[in-house]
Structure 1
Amino acid sequence: MESAKDCRTPPSIMPSSKKSSELNEKQIEDVNKDVEQVSEEEEYSPELVRKTLWKVDLHMLPLLGLLYAVALIDRTNLGIARIAGMEKDLKLYVGDRYSIASCLYFVPYILLQLPSNVVLRVLGARIWLTICVVGWGVAQLGMGFVPTWGYLVLCRVFLGVFEAGFFPALVFIITTWYKRHEVQKRLAFFYLFSIFLGGFSAIFAYALTLIAPRGGLNGWQWIFIIEGVITIVLGLLTYMFVADFPDKNRFLDEKQTKLILDRVEKDRGDSLPDEMTWAKIRLHMSDWTMWAFAMMFLCATMPAYAIGFFVTIILSSMGYSVRDALLLSAPPSVFAAMCCFGFAYISDRTRKRALLIAIQTVFTIIGLFITAYAKNNGARYLGLFIANGGASACVPGVLSYNANNVVSHTKRSVSTAVIIAFGGIGGIFATTVYRQVDYPRYLNGIWATIGCQFLMLTLLGATTLTFTRRNRLAREGKLGPLEGQPGFYYTI
């Protein structure tokens, strides 16, 4: 359970440094939980809190989850299109053309993360997210008409330009609505939604290939065309229904809005945005823990991207037909979705982040070893289940770990953008180390991915020791206030 290091204690009841150092963690935990509950119930009834949070969940999570699912499908459907005929038509078997087309998407995706989050606060969530979704939908549609692999690369670059602003905006917005121990379940929901639908996207794509040869187009072209049109339509729905920041929302009444802002203010003291300045950006980027979180996110996304881009190719290398490879790619994603939400529920319930991420990372390592060295196809397929489950659960875990340990909108904006940019670097890493020359087992790529998981465990250890020490010093009155916020303690 979370101790005083994980909760913000209102200054009015905070014990003296000497006295607090004499209390054991269980006592501090009980006091903080009681105060949090009483202070919230004094002004707002539990029924009002429950109904308001349910209203926020219904307004935000389904649409955002669907949008992120579409984003993930649109960036990783290249592998599906490849075995559906694109490789032959665009001669992607020549050299490293497929890896280049996969990789160059991530260049603008990485570079535009931070600028996109700055623009987000200026334009507002509704306008900015609409621009992003419609923009990448058009790029996706264009991929259905490319005559050569060079034009395919160009469309992938534009896909990266418009998707760059979407995911960090999504995480930023969600974390401004909830208290710290409520965040991971919400992040897991839309990520769960995305990997669940992403798993069945291969089956959907197979159905789209059956449209060929209508319109004189091949099956892989219909995949991009239909999915591009769907994305553009969702972009228009985004403009009409997407939620904005709490202080700008249009779907809650005045009392409900105040409830949301008060809960966040009592939890971490940053319910309203602070002014973004270059000085603040430089200050936030000087915090080494932000870069540690960024490297952890790289380590989490690398196996997720590798499986997304190469699962159908690995399955086809086992001797399965195109149809069977597409169909068999869905079950590992269903299992990953279950792991994602299960770990998120436990993490929020126990208010522990690092320990759960470490367990998930060990699962990923085990799954990768099985896929790499098992002799029969059944065991290798089982390895994909385990690796995908562990890696997918780590993604919202790392995002929540970071979100729980920053205060202020400016630091949240900067850290979210930097961390997700490193996720793009993980995508580049995944698309370049799984080389065509290593087909069909991709042992070098798998070992590179395993190495990233050991780096993840090292960084988890470093941040855990650092945050534990800072919390102890702050409780003893030797350091603080942490993050410039009286009563704030790091979540570990």
Structure 2
Amino acid sequence: MAGEKEPLEHMEEAAKDADTAAALVGHALDETNQPRYDDKETIKLMRRVDWRVLPMLTFLYLISFLDRGNIGNAKVAGMNDDLGLTGAQFNMAVTVFFIPYAIFEVPSNIVLKLMRPSWWISIIVTAWGTVMLCQGFVQNYHGLIATRIILGVTEAGFFPAAAYLVTTWYCRFEVQRRMALFYSAASLAGAFSGLLAFGIQHMDGVGNLAGWRWIYILEGILSVLAGLATPFVLPDSPDTAGFLTAAEKATIKFRLEQDSGTAAGKVSTTESFQWKFLWAALFDWKIWFAVFIFWGNTVPLYAFTYTAPSIILELGYTSAQAQLLTIPIYLVGMISTLGCSWLADRRRTRWPFIVIPYSVGVIGFLGLLAIPHPRLPGLTYGWLFFIPAGLYPPVITMASWLGNNLAPTWKRSIGIALGISLANAGGIVGSNIFIAKQAPHYWLGYGFCFGCVCVAILSTLVLRYAYKTANEKRDKLSEEEVRAKYTEQELLDLGDYSPLYRYVL
């Protein structure tokens, strides 16, 4: 008899879940069939998702930025002297990281879509932690170059994976402030790296190892432990999340499907791989054009990350003081990123929150170019705050804008990775424009960064015009005209090219 009850119990449970899902869906959509963002039921559900998805992504991105950027702290702590590196050799060690980092981002996101995301992220985090640990034992320039190349390979997949993962949980105007939370770890890493380096370099001589070696070793161990823990902490998708009920899973999926910008349009969330989605991403000019906007961040910011401790050191401070004085600069960048992202989602727009922060960066670089170095060291330090404050917010806004305007999910996964990979090629340039012999003026560094940010502002206005024009053309078509020409499946496969889809501006 017990065996006969089980099917009935399952049917009752399924019916109950279906009723609950229907009720939740009613709360999740507004009168135009678009996702709600501010009703109590939706806020409660998405807050639970926040606590399970965002803390681990934030922590992993923090250690990712620590591990790629700590070479600047190691330099100040004596690495160049111990390894006999020239200024050009140090710049090359910074540069080679970005070549494989840019190349492997798209392949990494393809693998991400083919296996459990938590397992793939675990593999790459554990791998880069192991490389970082090995970097603490390099004995010469060639060993440092080798580890930096391998570090670029292993770190390549994380940011595009994390950015894509956020879009699989949240609707378009919920994405940016969530991305900002984990991306703000990049600015926090700049502050935390200086604090860590300040403490760790006092281990100089422990185990007969120099203090700069312990910076790599301890941060590498931390990354390995984090990578091993990832599959047990980070959920893969709404469909497989154990902390959600069946009704809650259905609600999240339904909200994402309705998130097309119009009441009639839908987007696919579970489509299987087809080559046309790959070609759609590779031949979308808007993704390639977005790279100019990204470069306004990556070229100056990577240059600044690797050079800031040295710039402060040249103001007359000690090595330890230079490490500590980077902390407030990066904290300002974190606050700026969180504030701009909150406003961008609240206002449901993107382009102003690229242009306005970049304008702050333009002012900062103009100020640094105008100062009669090396006089007025306090003023130089003050102008440094404008750089992360102006450059951190636009990259997360642009990543959100790109993700908001790509569908279906395969195109979004590949498109995000493609845009970010080409953007990170800017690190190759940024690593070589602050030339040691130009210190403390750095005419090339500050001037080139100024030009990159100006180009980014102009490119943002062009892309905004393209999206706006496309929306206006689609507004002229009625739903009846569109459905007479396309089937429902064809509209889903068209993704953001569908006449029923509207771009975020």
State the TM-score, normalizing by the size of structure 1. 0.89
Measured after TM superposition, the shift of residue 44 of structure 1 is: 12
- On the 8 A contact 1:195/1:336 being kept in 2, the answer is yes
Q: Which residue of 1 aligns with 2:75?
A: 82
Measured after TM superposition, the shift of residue 441 of structure 1 is: 2.4
- On the 8 A contact 1:176/1:271 being kept in 2, the answer is no
Q: Which residue of 1 aligns with 2:41?
A: 48
Which range moved further: 341-350 or 295-304?
Answer: 295-304
Q: Which amino acid aligns with 2:289?
A: A
RMSD, aligned CA: 2.2
- 2:498 is the counterpart of 1:485: yes
Separation (CA, whole Å) in 1 of partners of 2:298 and 2:39 = 38
Q: Which residue of 2 aligns with 1:326?
A: 323
Q: Which amino acid aligns with 1:381?
A: Y
Q: Which amino acid aligns with 1:149?
A: Y
- On the 8 A contact 1:274/1:408 being kept in 2, the answer is yes
**Larger Rg, first or second structure (1 or 2):** 2
The correspondence for 1:342, drawn from 309, 314, 339, is 339
Deviation by residue 1:172-197 (Cα, 9 ceiling, x = unmatched): 10011111111110011111133124
Measured after TM superposition, the shift of residue 489 of structure 1 is: 1.0
What is the SS of the residue equivalent to 1:432? coil
What is the SS of the residue equivalent to 1:177? coil
Shift of the 41–427 alpha-carbon distance from structure 1 to 2, 3 Å rule, reads closer
What is the SS of the residue equivalent to 1:101? helix
Measured after TM superposition, the shift of residue 279 of structure 1 is: 3.1
Give structure 1 stretches of 5+ with no counterpart.
1-33
Which range moved further: 368-377 or 155-164?
Answer: 368-377
Q: Which residue of 1 aligns with 2:252?
A: 260
What is the SS of the residue equivalent to 1:248? coil
Shift of the 176–270 alpha-carbon distance from structure 1 to 2, 3 Å rule, reads farther
Separation (CA, whole Å) in 2 of partners of 1:238 and 1:136 = 14
Q: Which residue of 1 aligns with 2:463?
A: 463
Q: Which residue of 1 aligns with 2:396?
A: 396
What is the SS of the residue equivalent to 2:243? coil
Q: Which amino acid aligns with 1:449?
A: C
What is the SS of the residue equivalent to 2:427? helix
Which range moved further: 272-281 or 213-222?
Answer: 272-281
Separation (CA, whole Å) in 2 of partners of 1:106 and 1:196 = 21
Separation (CA, whole Å) in 1 of partners of 2:342 and 2:395 = 14
Separation (CA, whole Å) in 1 of partners of 2:28 and 2:425 = 43
Q: Which residue of 2 aligns with 1:443?
A: 443
Give structure 2 stretches of 5+ with no counterpart.
1-26, 261-265, 483-490
What is the SS of the residue equivalent to 1:450? helix
Which range moved further: 249-258 or 265-274?
Answer: 265-274
- On the 8 A contact 2:298/2:426 being kept in 1, the answer is yes
What is the SS of the residue equivalent to 1:77? helix
- On the 8 A contact 1:314/1:441 being kept in 2, the answer is no
- On the 8 A contact 2:303/2:427 being kept in 1, the answer is yes
Measured after TM superposition, the shift of residue 485 of structure 1 is: 3.5
Measured after TM superposition, the shift of residue 305 of structure 1 is: 1.1
Separation (CA, whole Å) in 1 of partners of 2:387 and 2:56 = 28
Separation (CA, whole Å) in 1 of partners of 2:56 and 2:36 = 31
Q: Which residue of 2 aligns with 1:150?
A: 142
The correspondence for 1:302, drawn from 299, 302, 311, is 299
What is the SS of the residue equivalent to 2:431? helix
Shift of the 262–446 alpha-carbon distance from structure 1 to 2, 3 Å rule, reads same
Separation (CA, whole Å) in 1 of partners of 2:64 and 2:341 = 22
Separation (CA, whole Å) in 1 of partners of 2:324 and 2:50 = 32
- On the 8 A contact 1:69/1:197 being kept in 2, the answer is yes
- On the 8 A contact 1:44/1:259 being kept in 2, the answer is no
- On the 8 A contact 2:105/2:421 being kept in 1, the answer is yes
- On the 8 A contact 1:370/1:379 being kept in 2, the answer is no
Deviation by residue 1:63-105 (Cα, 9 ceiling, x = unmatched): 100100110111011010001010100112x251001100001
Measured after TM superposition, the shift of residue 443 of structure 1 is: 1.3
Shift of the 281–42 alpha-carbon distance from structure 1 to 2, 3 Å rule, reads closer
Instruction: Within 5 Å, give how 1:369-384 maps onto structure 2.
Output: 369-375=366-372, 376-384=376-384
Which range moved further: 353-362 or 41-50?
Answer: 41-50
State the TM-score, normalizing by the size of structure 2. 0.87
What is the SS of the residue equivalent to 1:37? coil
Measured after TM superposition, the shift of residue 372 of structure 1 is: 2.6
Which range moved further: 308-317 or 292-301?
Answer: 292-301
Separation (CA, whole Å) in 2 of partners of 1:43 and 1:370 = 44
Separation (CA, whole Å) in 1 of partners of 2:407 and 2:230 = 28
- 2:84 is the counterpart of 1:107: no
Separation (CA, whole Å) in 2 of partners of 1:391 and 1:223 = 27
Q: Which residue of 1 aligns with 2:30?
A: 37
Separation (CA, whole Å) in 2 of partners of 1:109 and 1:320 = 34
